[in-house]
């Protein structure tokens, strides 16, 4: 639920504690390019008192993600690790004056990064084996993360699970798995007295989503709407051109052999990334590729954003991951 929007607007327009903390001795991260948002939290902890002296963050994603990461740095600075570990995603959302239901994953993301930082500082081994099998393969959301979020936030509907974790929010092929997980965890929460039996999720009580709603059966032949007359000229295929003559073999020109494929790959990678930027009112278009330097033009909310460098870092990481080679992304006006 949204309350005072001034706090959210304040941290979106002027994020606190953004940037790298070189003296950090506790670092936690959550999310990724596939998830659509990512945050890295860096803490400087006094080993004598276990008190957090300083906290900074880097984030990639929507404005609410940046605001949530900024808020958590302010909430935990000066606190002991025990007090910081007791914070929940709801506390982060409350500090922002509330978040839209569909953006609650932003508070969860900041919470997960904080818990990871504290766990790593204390040298507690992460349960990697249990986290290795994602329930939502599209977005890489693990069963452990979903179950933890259901319990800590007392979620009782599949819509809430998607809003808090993004699970089952893409192709919905994991819908049944997530539904079964929610029903089981809710049943355990009823036994523990955390929720009423009437509020617990019941299997089959939610309409199945995209993958199940697709029409099934053999494809039906389409009727010819132009029967008895020719199709309009703009819908008819263009006549085939005669095959080109074999080109005379020429010596390759240095520096141009992979120029076109590289540009196409960069353009393809950027097209995959643009919907995430456009969702927050920003955009990024390819201008040119020269060697290992990719020139892009930012627009919309990305222009003048104090975290545009973080956005560019995310674009750069995405391109490097896609192309398997380091590239430098440079903005142009």
pLDDT digits (tens, 9 = 90+) for 305-327: 656 666 777 777 777 777 777 77
Q: Read off the pLDDT of residues 163-192 as tens digits, 9 standing for 90 and up.
A: 999 888 777 778 888 888 899 999 999 998
Kind plus residue range of the DSSP H or E element containing 330: strand 328-331
| Residue/partner pairs of 8-13 with CB below 8 Å, 24 or more apart | 8/64, 8/67, 8/96, 8/97, 8/98, 8/99, 11/66, 11/67, 11/70, 11/71, 11/96, 12/63, 12/64, 12/66, 12/67
List the helix and strand counts (H, then E) for the chain: 12, 8
* pLDDT in the model for residue 311: 73
Cα 122 to its chain centre, rounded Å, is: 27
Task: Give the C-alpha separation, 245 to 187, whole Å.
Answer: 72
* pLDDT in the model for residue 133: 60
* pLDDT in the model for residue 129: 43
Please tell me whether 305 is known to bind a ligand: no
* pLDDT in the model for residue 258: 47
* pLDDT in the model for residue 269: 80
Positions in the chain whose pLDDT score sits under 70: 1-5, 124-134, 208-260, 303-310
> Is residue 58 within 8 Å of 18, Cβ to Cβ?
yes
Average pLDDT value for the chain: 80
Q: Could you please report the per-residue DSSP string of 211-276?
A: HHHS--SSPPPPP-TTTTSPPPGGGSPPPPPPPPPPPPP-PPPTT-TTHHHHHHHHHHHHHHHHHH
326 exposed, middle or buried (CB, 10 Å; 0-12, 13-18, 19+)? exposed
* pLDDT in the model for residue 253: 46
* pLDDT in the model for residue 45: 96
- Bridge partners of 294? 289, 329
Task: Give the C-alpha separation, 178 to 201, whole Å.
Answer: 12
* pLDDT in the model for residue 252: 46
Enter the tokens of residue 147. 């179950």
* pLDDT in the model for residue 262: 78
> Is residue 104 within 8 Å of 163, Cβ to Cβ?
yes
Task: Give the C-alpha separation, 297 to 311, whole Å.
Answer: 12
All structural domains of the chain, each given as residue ranges with its CATH number in brackets, are 1-126 (3.90.1010.10), 128-211 (1.10.10.1100), 262-331 (3.30.300.130)
Number of other CB atoms surrounding residue 19 within 10 Å:
14
* pLDDT in the model for residue 208: 65
């Amino acid at each position: 639920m949204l309350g005072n929007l001034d706090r959210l607007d304040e941290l979106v327009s002027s994020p606190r504690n953004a940037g790298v903390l070189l003296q950090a001795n506790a670092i936690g991260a959550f999310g990724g390019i596939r998830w659509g948002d990512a945050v890295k939290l860096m803490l400087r902890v006094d080993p004598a008192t276990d008190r957090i002296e300083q906290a900074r963050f880097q984030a990639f994603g929507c404005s609410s993600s940046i605001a949530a990461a900024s808020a958590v740095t302010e909430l935990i600075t000066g606190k002991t690790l025990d007090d910081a570990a007791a914070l929940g995603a709801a506390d982060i959302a409350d500090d922002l004056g509330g978040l839209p239901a569909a953006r609650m994953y932003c508070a969860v993301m900041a919470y997960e990064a904080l818990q990871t930082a504290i766990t790593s500082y204390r040298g507690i081994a992460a349960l990697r084996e249990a986290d290795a099998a994602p329930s939502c393969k599209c977005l890489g959301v693990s069963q452990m993360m979903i179950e933890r979020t259901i319990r800590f936030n007392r979620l009782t509907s599949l819509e809430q699970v998607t809003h808090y974790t993004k699970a089952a929010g893409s192709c919905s092929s994991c819908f049944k798995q997530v539904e079964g997980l929610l029903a089981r965890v809710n049943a355990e929460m009823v036994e523990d007295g955390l929720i009423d039996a009437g509020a617990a999720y019941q299997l089959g009580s939610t309409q199945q989503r995209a993958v199940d709603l697709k029409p099934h059966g053999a494809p039906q032949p389409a009727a010819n709407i132009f029967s008895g007359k020719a199709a309009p000229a703009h819908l008819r295929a263009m006549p085939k051109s005669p095959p080109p003559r074999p080109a005379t073999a020429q010596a390759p020109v240095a520096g141009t052999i992979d120029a076109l494929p590289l540009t196409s790959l960069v353009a393809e990678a950027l097209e995959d990334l643009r919907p995430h930027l456009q969702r927050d009112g920003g955009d990024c278009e390819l201008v040119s590729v020269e060697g290992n330097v990719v020139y892009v033009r930012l627009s919309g909310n990305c222009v003048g954003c104090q975290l545009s460098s973080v956005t560019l870092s995310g674009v750069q990481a995405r391109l490097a991951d896609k192309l398997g080679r380091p590239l430098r992304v440079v903005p142009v006006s």
